[in-house]
Amino acid sequence: MDLDQIKKAASLEELEKIRVSLLGKNGIITKRFKELKNLSNEEKKKVAKELNELKEKALELISQKKYELEEELLNMKLKSERIDVTLFNPKPTGAIHPISDTMNKIIDFFTKLNFSVETGPLVEDDFHNFEALNLPKYHPARDMQDTFYFKDGTLLRTHTSPVQIRTMLKQKPPIRMISPGAVFRRDYDLTHTPMFHQVEGLVVDEKGKVSFANLKFILESFLIHMFGDVKVRFRPSFFPFTEPSAEVDISCIFCKGEGCRVCSHTGWLEVLGCGVVDPNVFKAVGYENVSGYAFGLGVERFAMLLNRINDLRSMYEGDIRLMEQFK
Amino acid sequence: MIVTRKWLEEFIDLEGIETDEIILTLNRIGQEVEGYKKIEIPQNVVIGEVIECEKHPNADKLNLCKVNVGDEELQIICGAINVAAGQRVAVAKIGAQLPELKIKKAKLRGVESFGMICAAREIGLPDFHEGIMVLDDSLGKLKIGEYVGKYLNDEIIELGVTANRGDSFSIYGIARELSAGINKSLKSLEFNYEEMQEGIGRVVNIDKNELKKSSHLLRAVEGEFNVPFKIEYRLALIEEEAKNKIDKFIKYAMHATGVLLTPMNICNIELDNENGADVVKCFGKYYVGIKNDIVVEENGKYLIDANFINPKYVSEIVFLNGLKTDEYFFRASRGSEPDLNFGMNYLLNEMKLPVFSGDIDLSNDLKPKIINININEVKEIIGFEIDEKSIVEILKRLDFEIKSITDESLKVAIPVFRHDIENIQDITEEILRIYGIDNIPSKPLVFEEKNRINDNIKKIEFLNELKLKAVANGFYEVIHFVFEDKQRLKKYGFEVVDDNLDLINPIANELDTLRSTLLLQLLDDVRYNRANDYKRVYLFTAGSVYNSKREEKEQFAFVLNGYADYENPINHGKPQKVQFKDAVDKLSQLIGDFKLTEGKHSIAHPYQCADVIKDGEKIGVIAKLHPKVAKDFDIDDTYFAEIDLDKLDKKSKQAKEINRFQKVTRDLSLVVDKDISYKNIYEIISNLNIEELKDFYPIDIFDLGDKNSLTVRFKLQGQKTLQENEINDIMEKILKALEEKGIRLR
Ligand SMILES: [Zn+2]
């Protein structure tokens, strides 16, 4: 009996033919089983055993060959389905604007420390934007902020500080808040856009509770959170609504404080303004026996530093060439 | 405010103190250094004396000079018209490397030249004179042959003096700050000038004196001005321009001392008060501390008025009367130096002209403010205890006078030049800045907590979620100014802010109003990016818009333009263009489910425009851009959506029990009139309120000539497995309802 032909089968069809020729109704092995009845009992036993073994063997070989042939067939099919996967490198599009992204990071820091978020209108009045912030009409510091005015005497807010006033008038201390949003100054050149974004913070509690040292603590933590391993420097400065006031610098993130073009070779980058709330501001909202600190920052400035954007105006040009770098 | 190191040294001894340390100190005490520049004359540029000067034998416009440079005499050819024998000049010797050239031996028209007589510009200085630079002894007695830098080298420090610190708008003011910062006293200055026998009363009469608010000190001088090199040079360094000789002296002395100085010719003056402003009249008017319109003729006799007016008062007068101002107001409104004698003497000392004896003194004595300081309050404001002894020491350094002292408090007199100090917080700032913020340890705030997660935070989070979905759908976020071009808004049929509520002082014509839509700016961006070869422009933005009453609301908008996919081998580099369905799909990915009804919009294609309806309310619009508008913007097919953010549903979704019985699908192909929208069919079927009908939607539409064939797919599911006859009953019911409206099965 030649079982080798099973191994030589070239296709599943051929294998099936062989199977039929061996084990089919008229197959060789089937026939021989049928012939068993002609044999003596003793012989019958012996031959039957041989035949069973042969059948087992044949079935096993066929099953094995079938597996091999199927496997081969599948492999061929898979091979025929080969594609050049390297043709399909992705081209993702879509990105959050760096101003939004930076704003979110800032809001995130303060809300996680349980500051509330307060908002207010962009069109403001003189009282909330200036007067209540210790900026009387004739104050020379008003020159610092060239203002957009409307015909009915209202104006576009020049900072987010009016939200502090609105919140203080609406709520009672203790207050702990930030106010993010768009602000406006009448200035349009290489380093100024007529609209930009600020985040301001305000903390108010009983007299004697909130100090400059507390302000230092929160801003140092914040700046290290935003910029990583930087040095933080406070310089005394002036804002009408805080006293004492300070400007806050970080060591230049580009040159690590060595001095470069971005930091005008000073090794420092100015990033924040802050101070202890001026008593005149509390007076304007009718608060007595309180203490507080406030701070404010420009979101564009942070975005430019964090994302290495050189041109302020490019952020307002809807330019995909800029945006696609933030995918 | 520009100061130079050498000028500062007139007032304070800085020997042994590096400029770096000065800069550090100024920053530390709150005088922000915004710029620093070193003025360094190139080596081999020396003081020379022109001994002879003749015309060049072969060139009319050139001079042949003999110049003594100490160790030798050089033959130098010079083209300057002002060169003359006897002058002391800056000579660049052979080998000197000037900013723009290296000096070599030269031959000009056959005559050799061994150096160059320099103009300021040629040795890296500001360009402030004609011809060559002629030196004198005003910056130190000149020594022939000496390196010019010994006299002219200087360091320029530019300060951002804050608006409250009028006392710091002078060299003297900054020297005074530095003196407190490095704890070193100011020099005591001596002023010299020649006084004549003749008294001021012989030449000046005051015809009328109605002054109310200002102080004046008047003196008179006689003679012809000779402006020394020092003044010309330093005015150039501080970038000041002067009208004439006397103006140069005045500007110089005002910058040095901070005292307001007004020059006029000898005249009988009238001192008046007009609408609250003190006025000096003499060949024009000087509104004290506001504006100077007095014309000064250089006729040899002059009257100088050193004056002072309360800064708050003058600011109010200007504001209330809307007066025009000049640089006098800049100083006066911030608080000019009230020490009139100091300013006057400094000026007379520089002018070096004979002075009429005596003065006319019309001063109101300034009384120092007295403030009580509670030491504990200072500690509470700073959050750190600075001992009383240190506080006293700091205040003395700042010229505060300690009137009385106890363990808990101090009574101090504020120096009259510090107009900004009004209360204990102001004084605390003074203590803090001199003590040094760096020396104050940071301290966490102890605070009573409560829940501060308010609706604003939720709104911000909701918007961010929306933005992130847009980004995941391939959109770039863009941000624009809230300004628009009013003409353009009108042209495209958008609402505009009422004229009487609009901007007075827009920054540009095309930004002259508040926007009422986000769309036009997005279309600008489509054009911009298409021009930059982007073939698939998906942009979104969120922000405030305004209606005619200038009420603010927040909107969200996007645009889709160009390809629906990027170019790749599957689409053979020719992706399909975006279609209405793409825009709808994107919108639903962002804001979830909504319904569309046919709508109208001023810049939309009239037959591809839909209102977006959510929970029965219109929340926005989605449409194809009108081809005419697209043409205006020079772009092709564009789709847009604009949505009211406030109307988006932020409620939690409510779940129903999951139905686990088998769902059945049936399709119906219908013949419908072309002017019937799917919305009609949708309503007919919805109105049947069939409980088992879970969903139905169109899956195919094609043209049958005068009618359309529309195939609708139905999803049925009951509270048990539906039997064939039950399904047929439902489909019959639907068909019957449609047939009643003339819609039949195909
Ligand atoms: Zn740097």
Q: Would you call B460 and A144 a contact, using CB atoms and an 8 Å cutoff?
A: no
Q: B374: which residues sit within 8 A by CB, 6+ positions away? A: B408, B409, B424
ipTM of the complex: 0.89
Q: How confident is the model at residue A2 (pLDDT cuts 50, 70, 90)?
A: confident
Q: How far does the CA of residue A99 sit from the closest CA of chain B (Å)?
A: 8
What is the dihedral angle through the alpha carbons of B668, B669, B672, B677, rounded to the nearest 10 degrees?
60
Q: B285: which residues sit within 8 A by CB, 6+ positions away? A: B279, B293, B294
Q: How confident is the model at residue A144 (pLDDT cuts 50, 70, 90)?
A: low
Quick one: pLDDT at residue B531? 96
Q: A88: which residues sit within 8 A by CB, 6+ positions away? A: B568
How many C-beta atoms surround the C-beta of residue B244 within 10 A?
14
Q: Cα–Cα distances in Å, from A303 out to A106, A312, B139, B431?
A: 11, 9, 48, 35
What fold does the segment set B370-439 form as a domain? Phenylalanyl-tRNA Synthetase; Chain B, domain 1 (3.30.56)
Residue B122 CA to residue B41 CA, distance in Å, equals 10
CA nearest to B622, candidates B586, B672, B659: B586
What is residue B243's DSSP assignment?
S
∠ CA B138-B346-B300 to the nearest 5 degrees? 80
Q: Would you call A212 and B381 a contact, using CB atoms and an 8 Å cutoff?
A: yes
- Residues of chain B contacting A244 with CB distance shorter than 8 Å: 381-382, 425, 428-429, 432-433
The number of C-alpha atoms within 13 Å of B603 and in the hemisphere containing its C-beta is 29
Quick one: pLDDT at residue A1? 61
pLDDT tens figures, B216-239: 999 999 999 999 999 999 999 999
Q: How far does the CA of residue A71 sit from the closest CA of chain B (Å)?
A: 30
Phi, psi of B338 (to 5 degrees): -85, -5
DSSP, collapsed to helix, strand or coil, labels residue B139 as helix
What fold does the segment set B455-647 form as a domain? BirA Bifunctional Protein; domain 2 (3.30.930)
Residue B155 CA to residue A249 CA, distance in Å, equals 24
**Are the beta carbons of B75 and B97 closer than 8 angstroms?**
no
First-residue to last-residue Cα distance in chain B = 88
- Residues of chain A contacting B534 with CB distance shorter than 8 Å: 320
How many C-beta atoms surround the C-beta of residue A183 within 10 A?
24
- Looking at chain A, the whole-number percentage of residues with pLDDT higher than 90 is 75
Nearest to B381 among A88, A97, A211 (CB): A211
For residue A139, pLDDT over 80 is answered with: no
The sheet that has B401-405: what strands, in order across it? B370-374, B409-413, B401-405
Q: How far does the CA of residue A106 sit from the closest CA of chain B (Å)?
A: 12
Beta pairing, strands B205-209 & B268-274: parallel
Residue B5 CA to residue B27 CA, distance in Å, equals 16
Quick one: pLDDT at residue A261? 87
Nearest to A96 among B477, B521, B529 (CB): B477
Cis status of the peptide bond prior to A174, with omega within 30 of 0: yes
Quick one: pLDDT at residue B409? 93
- Residue of A216, A283, A293 for testing the chain B interface, max B β-carbons within 10 Å: A216
pLDDT tens figures, B38-89: 999 999 999 999 999 998 888 888 999 999 999 999 999 998 989 999 999 9
Residues A176-198: what's their mean pLDDT? 95
Tokens 């006066």 correspond to B332
Q: B551: which residues sit within 8 A by CB, 6+ positions away? A: none
Residue A163 CA to residue A296 CA, distance in Å, equals 12
∠ CA B343-B347-B351 to the nearest 5 degrees? 170
Q: How far does the CA of residue A127 sit from the closest CA of chain B (Å)?
A: 16
Burial class (CB in 10 A: 0-12, 13-18, 19+), B15: exposed
Nearest to B449 among A114, A137, A320 (CB): A114
Residue B3 CA to residue B644 CA, distance in Å, equals 55
Quick one: pLDDT at residue B373? 94
- Residue of A119, A130, A172, A234 for testing the chain B interface, max B β-carbons within 10 Å: A234
- Nearest Cα residue in chain A from B452: A116
Q: How is residue B578 written in tokens?
A: 């975006």
Residue A106 CA to residue A100 CA, distance in Å, equals 10
Quick one: pLDDT at residue B403? 94
Residues A108-125: what's their mean pLDDT? 96
Quick one: pLDDT at residue B649? 66
Quick one: pLDDT at residue A140? 60
Quick one: pLDDT at residue A41? 85
The list of chain B residues with pLDDT below 50 reads none
Tokens 């109704």 correspond to A25
Instruction: Determine the CATH number of domain B195-361.
Output: 3.50.40.10
Residues A259-279: what's their mean pLDDT? 92
What is residue B535's DSSP assignment?
S
* Helix (H) or strand (E) run with residue B506 in it: none
DSSP, collapsed to helix, strand or coil, labels residue B119 as coil
Quick one: pLDDT at residue A269? 94
B45-152 matches B455-647 in fold: no
Residues with CB under 5 A from ligand 1 (ion): A 252, 254-255, 260, 263
Quick one: pLDDT at residue B319? 87
Q: How is residue A142 written in tokens?
A: 């008003």
| Ligand 1 centroid – CA B700 distance (Å) | 64
Q: Which CATH architecture has domain B45-152?
A: Beta Barrel (2.40)
Burial class (CB in 10 A: 0-12, 13-18, 19+), B613: middle
Residues A241-245: what's their mean pLDDT? 94
For residue A145, pLDDT over 70 is answered with: no
For residue A147, pLDDT over 70 is answered with: yes
Reading phi first (left if > 0) and then psi (alpha if -120 to 50, else beta), residue A259 is in: left
**Are the beta carbons of B618 and B611 closer than 8 angstroms?**
yes
pTM over 0.90: no
Total CB pairs under 8 A between chain A and B:
246
Nearest to A214 among B33, B443, B449 (CB): B443
What fold does the segment set B664-745 form as a domain? Alpha-Beta Plaits (3.30.70)
Quick one: pLDDT at residue B660? 87
Q: B614: which residues sit within 8 A by CB, 6+ positions away? A: B591, B593, B594, B595, B647, B648, B649
Tokens 């709150």 correspond to B30
∠ CA B352-B239-B100 to the nearest 5 degrees? 110
Note the maximum CA span of chain A.
Answer: 133
For residue A142, pLDDT over 90 is answered with: no
Residue B260 CA to residue B113 CA, distance in Å, equals 49
SS (H, E, C) chain A: CCCHHHHHCCCHHHHHHHHHHHHCCCCHHHHHHHHHHHCCHHHHHHHHHHHHHHHHHHHHHHHHHHHHHHHHHHHHHHHHCCCCHHHHCCCCCCECCHHHHHHHHHHHHHHHCCCEECCCCCEECHHHHCHHHCCCCCCHHHHHCCCCEECCCCEECCCCHHHHHHHHHHCCCCEEEEEEEEEECCCCECCECCEEEEEEEEEEEECCCCCHHHHHHHHHHHHHHHHCCCCEEEEEEEECCEEEEEEEEEECCCCCCCCCCCCCCCCEEEEEEEEEECHHHHHHCCCCCEEEEEEEEEHHHHHHHHHCCCCHHHHHCCCHHHHHHHC
Q: Between these two residues, B517 and A266, which has the higher pLDDT value?
A: B517
Q: How is residue B258 written in tokens?
A: 């901070």
Q: What are the residue ranges spanned by the domains of chain B? A: 2-40+156-182, 45-152, 195-361, 370-439, 455-647, 664-745
Q: How is residue B61 written in tokens?
A: 């416009």
Which residue type is seen at B275? Answer: N
How many C-beta atoms surround the C-beta of residue A283 within 10 A?
12
Q: Would you call B426 and A247 a contact, using CB atoms and an 8 Å cutoff?
A: no
CA nearest to A297, candidates A242, A233, A225, A247: A247
Beta pairing, strands B355-357 & B195-199: parallel
Residue B425 CA to residue B408 CA, distance in Å, equals 16
Q: How far does the CA of residue B333 sit from the closest CA of chain A (Å)?
A: 7
For residue A37, pLDDT over 60 is answered with: yes
What fold does the segment set B2-40+156-182 form as a domain? Phenylalanyl-tRNA Synthetase; Chain B, domain 1 (3.30.56)
